[in-house]
């Protein structure tokens, strides 16, 4: 990229008292020396070629929606009545489109998160194909979500459901989304592997488990450690042979989990080694992890 030129953008942003705050932005124009295309610098909250920020347009919409007339808004916000009407219709269409998204996406993600102390947990539904939040509902159990799931339109069109390793969400998927293929989210699988390993470490060396430096080294992927960090970690693990063997198995397992874009032929070739590793873990202190992975093999 090189800066070819600059131009001045004048954007209405907000009102302070009776004054309209206007931004005067000197904007660079870029030239990509690879693809030979020209680009103008973009700003968060200001759309290209618009002369008002999104916050200002929303402020006018909310005022007009609250009963302020177009004539009064044209005086106080220095825009024409036609512009007020256009901005108002734009936000009305946007709100309507948000309501239309209640039709289930084909690739649906589901996960829980803490909401408030009073309300407890909430469940987030996401459209993973378009990278958008589909809906958020209070509760994380089947009884608390039953009414919402029964009234959800287009449940039969969901093809893939991505979730953590929760048995509750898996049963919800089987009951309310029978046509969907259940997929375990990669992030949650890696986190579960690390959690099981840290529990076993706590049993073998409770004092070492409190060392923040060791915790950081144990959680990282082996290929992200420097030579010095890896040597220090191996020196510590040498005093705990069982823990050292489990650490090596954990790294092998994570390497399998992080494999991406596997064609059927390559995946079929790697599957026997993956199954053999799960069998090894089943005869080790990580047997509960192996049991969980077996239940999710399909």
Helix axes 186-204, 287-295, angle to 10 degrees: 160
pLDDT in tens, 68-82: 999 999 999 999 999
CATH 3.30.420.10 domain extents, the chain: 107-184
Q: C-alpha 257: how far from its chain's center?
A: 18
Helices 186-204/241-257 angle, 10° precision: 180
Average pLDDT in the 251-269 region?
91
Round the average pLDDT of the chain to a whole number and report it: 91
CATH of 107-184, one of 3.30.420.10, 3.30.2010.10, 3.30.70.330, 3.40.50.300: 3.30.420.10
Residues 85-133 pLDDT 10s: 999 999 998 887 766 556 788 999 999 999 888 889 999 999 999 898 8
φ/ψ bin of 28: left (φ > 0), alpha (ψ from -120 to 50), beta (otherwise): beta
**What percentage of residues in the chain have a pLDDT greater than 90?**
74
């Amino acid at each position: 990229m090189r800066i070819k030129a600059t131009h001045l953008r004048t954007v209405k942003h907000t009102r302070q008292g009776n004054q309209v705050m206007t931004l005067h932005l000197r904007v660079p124009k870029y030239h990509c020396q690879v693809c030979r295309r020209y680009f103008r610098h973009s700003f968060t909250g200001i759309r290209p070629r618009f002369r008002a920020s999104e916050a200002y347009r929303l402020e006018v919409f909310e005022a007009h929606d609250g009963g302020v007339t177009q004539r009064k808004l044209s005086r106080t916000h220095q825009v024409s009545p036609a512009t007020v009407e256009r901005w108002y219709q734009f936000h009305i269409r946007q709100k309507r489109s948000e309501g239309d998204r209640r039709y289930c996406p084909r690739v649906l993600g589901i996960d829980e998160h803490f909401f408030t102390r009073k309300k407890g947990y909430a469940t987030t539904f996401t459209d993973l194909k378009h990278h958008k939040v589909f809906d958020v509902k209070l509760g994380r159990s089947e009884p608390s979500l039953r009414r919402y799931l029964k009234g959800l339109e287009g449940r039969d069109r969901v093809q893939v459901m991505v979730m953590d390793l929760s048995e509750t969400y898996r049963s919800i998927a089987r009951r309310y989304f029978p046509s969907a293929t259940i997929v375990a989210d990669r992030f949650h699988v890696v986190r579960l592997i690390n959690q099981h390993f840290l529990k076993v470490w706590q049993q073998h060396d409770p004092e070492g488990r409190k060392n923040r430096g060791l915790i950081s080294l144990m959680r990282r992927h082996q290929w992200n450690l420097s030579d010095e960090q890896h040597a220090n970690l191996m020196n510590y693990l040498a005093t705990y042979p069982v823990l050292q063997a489990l650490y090596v198995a954990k790294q092998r397992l994570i390497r399998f989990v992080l494999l991406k874009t596997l064609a059927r032929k390559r995946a079929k070739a790697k599957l026997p080694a993956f199954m053999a590793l799960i069998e090894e873990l089943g005869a080790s202190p990580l047997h509960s992890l192996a049991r969980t992975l077996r239940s999710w093999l399909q």
